[in-house]
Amino acid sequence: MDVLVIGAGACGLTTGIRLAEAGLAVTIRTAAPPEQTTSAAAGAVWGLVRVGPPDRVLEWGRTGLEVLSALAGEPGTGVRMASGQEVSRSRLEPHYWTPLLPHLRSSSPAELPDGFADGWHYTAPVATMPVYLGYLRARFERAGGQLEVAPTRTLAELAGAAPVVVNCSGAAARDLVPDPAVEAVRGQVVIAANPGLEEFFIDRDPEPPWIVYMFPHGGQILLGGTNDEGNWDETPKPEIAERIVAGCAAIEPRLRHAEILDHRVGLRPWRPEVRLESEPLGSGVLWHNYGHGGAGISLSWGCAAEITAHVLAQLSSRATRARGAITR
Ligand SMILES: Cc1cc2nc3c(=O)[nH]c(=O)nc-3n(C[C@H](O)[C@H](O)[C@H](O)COP(=O)(O)OP(=O)(O)OC[C@H]3O[C@@H](n4cnc5c(N)ncnc54)[C@H](O)[C@@H]3O)c2cc1C
């Protein structure tokens, strides 16, 4: 084995894919299968929210936008290009990253629901996460990767398991590293039968921890949500689900009687800055790739590309050193 990746959320799977498609022998070891990760609960629209630092995030995000936009043109990936709007009851400045998106324009008054004063309309890649994670896993395995479900107790115990270990453990990095800078930002969402909505919708106004958003995924619609800082509870709460549905239905009356199909909770792995850096582990290298906050689906391909370039360089200089030792 050349590389052992810890974690099978969006970050672990995309890192595993890039490394395996570069010709390396890669194993992903994960405490939970992809469909039980935080990644499975995501909306998931391309956007760089609740994450830093802005300069690196913009570069990783640019790569993510390119890759996800390309995947939207391929059948079976679970990704499509969707239009929608972010709105407010007062004046709304666009995020610093929205100019990267195609078709960005002010919402017209006719597009704004009653009571809203301002908004931005744009097109972005949107992933139906259960389908997208299934696609990522299959692509990783097609490239020769192995996925095993088994928890890792400590990173130190992985010394010697592979020349390179990549830590993509999400919010669990707080205990696993350990890294007290990691904090969970709990997000609860409701999956309902879609009564016919086609565009995504994000209301940026509600007081934290609340936010109101709707992401149509064909016959289903994902309704949100919460941004609850420091809350590590992964059990869906019925009273929160009720408030989520009521908040969405107040804006979109067609949701009032929508059939509720599922409830999901994810712990956004927040950190002041994404941790993408390496340190020694025994005679090998440990890469960290966690702390992607509310943007891990959007950043994962960019982070995976950066790590892969470093790992290929490290393994090739290690091979050169080993050859030198044999010929001496
Ligand atoms: C409600 C909600 C909506 C969101 N919407 C968006 C969005 O629209 N766009 C966007 O880009 N992002 C969005 N996000 C954020 C995004 O989901 C996260 O940033 C992303 O999922 C983080 O991916 P990850 O792979 O780092 O972590 P995770 O998906 O949490 O995966 C971590 C992996 O590590 C494994 N692991 C943990 N501990 C161990 C251990 N000890 N041993 C072995 N394995 C271990 C876990 O089992 C898991 O496989 C949203 C999040 C939520 C909750």
Tell whether ligand 1 has an atom less than 6 A from the beta carbon of residue 64. no
Global pTM exceeds 0.85 = yes
| Ligand 1 closest atom vs CA 264 | 1
d(CA 40, CA 128): 9
**DSSP secondary structure code for residue 93 in this structure:** P
Q: According to the model, what pLDDT value does residue 278 have?
A: 98
Q: According to the model, what pLDDT value does residue 327 have?
A: 66
List all residues 6 or more positions away from 114 whose beta carbon is below 8 Å from its beta carbon: none
Residue 103's identity, in one-letter code, is: H
Distance of CA 178 to the CA centre of its chain: 21
Q: According to the model, what pLDDT value does residue 322 have?
A: 74
Specify whether the CB–CB gap between 181 and 272 falls below 8 A: yes
Residue 135's identity, in one-letter code, is: Y
pLDDT tens per residue across span 142-169: 999 999 999 999 999 999 999 999 999 9
What is the number of residues in the chain?
328
Q: What is the mean pLDDT of residues 9-18?
A: 98
Ligand 1 pocket mutation pick from 5, 38, 222, 276 by most atoms within 8 angstroms of CB: 38
Residue appearing with tokens 């020769």: 144
pLDDT tens per residue across span 207-234: 999 999 999 999 999 999 999 999 999 9
Q: Distance from first CA to last CA of the chain, Å, rounded?
A: 26
Q: According to the model, what pLDDT value does residue 323 have?
A: 74
Q: What is the mean pLDDT of residues 82-107?
A: 95
d(CA 290, CA 201): 28
Q: How far is the CA of 169 from the centre of ligand 1 (A)?
A: 8
Q: How far is the CA of 293 from the centre of ligand 1 (A)?
A: 8
pLDDT of 38 higher than 90: yes
Q: How far is the CA of 11 from the centre of ligand 1 (A)?
A: 7
Residue 265's identity, in one-letter code, is: V
Specify whether the CB–CB gap between 173 and 167 falls below 8 A: yes
Q: What is the mean pLDDT of residues 40-67?
A: 96
Tell whether ligand 1 has an atom less than 6 A from the beta carbon of residue 225. yes
91 pLDDT band, cuts 50/70/90, is very high
324 pLDDT band, cuts 50/70/90, is confident
Q: According to the model, what pLDDT value does residue 317 have?
A: 81
Residue appearing with tokens 């809350």: 231
Percent of the chain as helix, strand, coil, to the nearest 5 = 35, 30, 35
Q: What is the mean pLDDT of residues 171-193?
A: 98
Tokens of 186: 């709990």
316 pLDDT band, cuts 50/70/90, is confident
pLDDT of 313 higher than 80: yes
List all residues 6 or more positions away from 87 whose beta carbon is below 8 Å from its beta carbon: 107, 112, 113, 116, 118, 119, 120, 201, 202, 203, 204
197 pLDDT band, cuts 50/70/90, is very high
328 pLDDT band, cuts 50/70/90, is low
pLDDT tens per residue across span 97-126: 998 998 999 999 999 999 999 999 999 999
Average pLDDT, the chain: 96
Residue 11's identity, in one-letter code, is: C
Q: How far is the CA of 74 from the centre of ligand 1 (A)?
A: 24
Q: Which residue has a Cα nearest atom 10 of ligand 1?
A: 295
| CA distances (Å), origin 159, targets 204, 232, 268, 282 | 45, 29, 28, 5
Question: Three-class SS of residue 215?
Answer: strand
Specify whether the CB–CB gap between 173 and 183 falls below 8 A: no
Output the CA angle 246-251-254, nearest 5 degrees: 80
Q: How far is the CA of 69 from the centre of ligand 1 (A)?
A: 21
Q: What percent of the chain lies above the pLDDT cut of 90?
A: 94
pLDDT of 326 higher than 90: no
pLDDT of 320 higher than 90: no
Tell whether ligand 1 has an atom less than 6 A from the beta carbon of residue 42. yes
pLDDT of 325 higher than 80: no
Q: Which residue has a Cα nearest atom 17 of ligand 1?
A: 39
